[in-house]
Every structure is written in C-alpha cells, then in structure tokens.
Amino acid sequence: MNIKLVAIDVDATLLNSSNELTKYTIDVLKEAIAQGIKIVITSGRPLLGTEAYYKKLGIDRRDDQYAINYNGATIRTTSGKMIAETPLSIQDYKDLYELSTKIGIKVHAETADYIYTPYLSVPKYTKFEAKLTNTKTRHVRMQDLKKSDVIAKVMFVDEPEIIEKAKKELPSWVYERFNVVPSSPIYLEFIDKHVSKGNAVKTLANKLSIDISQVMAIGDQGNDLSMVEAAGMGVAMGNGIDAVKSVAQFVTGTNDDNGAAFAVKKFVLNQEKIEN
C-alpha cells in the first residue's frame, strides 16, 4: 500500500497500558519517518500533552510535521503554528456546566494552556487529565470567564457508572449543538458539531495533497471511530471497542503487544515480522 500519512491515537494505542511509548514502537515509526511518511499524533490531548512523544520520534518543533489535538479542534505544526482551529463558545461551556449540575456530574473546559475547573476543590479526574496531558489547572468561576477565553473542548469527567448514566440523560439539544465523544470510560467530551478526528485528518491530508486512500488511521475508542472510518486504511487496536473494530479494515494487536507498530510494519513498511 502507498501510505503517506499515518494518524495515530495516543492513549491505549500509541502508548501501552503503563502509558509508555516503547522503544520498539519508536524504532518502527522512525523508520517510517525516514521514508518520508508523516506520522501525525491525533489525540484528544492538547499539543503540550503530546510534545514528549514527538520529541522521542525526532519530529518535535518542526514546521513540516503536524499534530491534531483536542479530537480535531486544532491542527498545528509540531512547532506550534496553527493550521486550523474550531473552538467552542463561552456560552457553550456555560450551558454544559448548567447541564452538568442538573445531572450530577463533574465538568471542566480545556484551552490551549490550561484546564479550567469551576470547582475550588479540583475533582480527581480533572487532576488525572492534567497529569496525563502535562497541563496546569486553573480555578475559573463561570462568571469570571472572558470573551477572549478560547475553549477547545468541554469534558464531563467522573466515575464510569456516572458517565454511563449521563450518556442516557443528555437532552437532544446537546447532540444538535455538539459532537459528543466518549473518549474513555471516565470521560465524555464535547466539541464543535463539525469537529472530529476524521474531519481533521481529511483537512490535513488535503492540505498536504495526500489522497485519503493514502492515509492510515489507528485507534481504539469512540473518538477514533471517525478517522478509522474515513481513512483509506482504518486500523483498530486489539484492545479497542467493538464499534471501532466493526469499521476497520484490519484489527491489529493490543497496545501491550506493539499493535500500532505491527500495523505500520505490515502496511507502511511492508514487513510482516514483529518483535516485542
């Protein structure tokens, strides 16, 4: 296959269950990069939360390498130059905050630099997200939000059973206004209605004059569904949810078995053998 761009999710895809990028995966992706393949980390995280992996791959702070973040709400070069951005409004955040109080679930908003929490005591899953993405939290009351605040996404963050309950209680207006993305059992994300990883991958491929048939997308969760479905070669992780596997052309190994590296070796480097 003539793959020119590989879009790879981070958590439970690029990283193993210990949140590590293995040396083996680094070596395989570096081999692809050396052949001119664009490796694009496509994540719900901010750019700051993925920079360390670009650095390990040797493509950080580059004007000719690219990053898709916030589930497609931003497309940048790895040097930070904005290519495309589709934020939410302050009113969007306020409305989702009001909804969160009605259904009894924790919420926060993410900007380019901070995670905004409306609570004086930061919820544990907001702390987890901040640590995971290397982002600082800031207590910002709803009445103190400014028009200049650029909200990339809003997240409901809570225990898995509370997230599942919230999914069933979302009113129709939420689906009319937002793309609702279940990115993990403890997260439910809200982004602009027209934003998705799939749309962002198509936008970037078009900018680079790469046909979508020459794109591989690898992911495991609901927020990866759109790009796995859109790509010419959609790959689901062995540890992925059934919905992603059902639209993929290939189901690779798990994230603890270097599954993403296996897919790149097989379809990009045309090598079948894999070592753990």
By annotation, the residues acting in catalysis are 9
Of 92, 86, 89, 91, residue with least CA distance to 69: 86
123 torsion bin: left (phi>0), alpha (psi -120 to 50), beta (else): beta
- C-alpha–C-alpha distance, residues 234 and 251, integer Å: 9
Any idea which residue has 């920079």 for tokens?
Answer: 51
Beta bridge partners of 235: 218, 250
E strand or H helix at 8: strand 5-8
Residue 64, CA atoms < 13 Å, CB-side half-sphere: 4
Sign of CA dihedral 134, 105, 226, 249: positive
Question: Please, which residues have CB within 8 angstroms of residue 55's CB and are 6 or more apart in sequence?
Answer: none
Secondary structure (3-state) at 45: coil
- C-alpha–C-alpha distance, residues 266 and 192, integer Å: 35
- C-alpha–C-alpha distance, residues 50 and 165, integer Å: 30
- Residues found in the chain: 276
Per the structure block, which two tokens stand in for 40? 């694009």
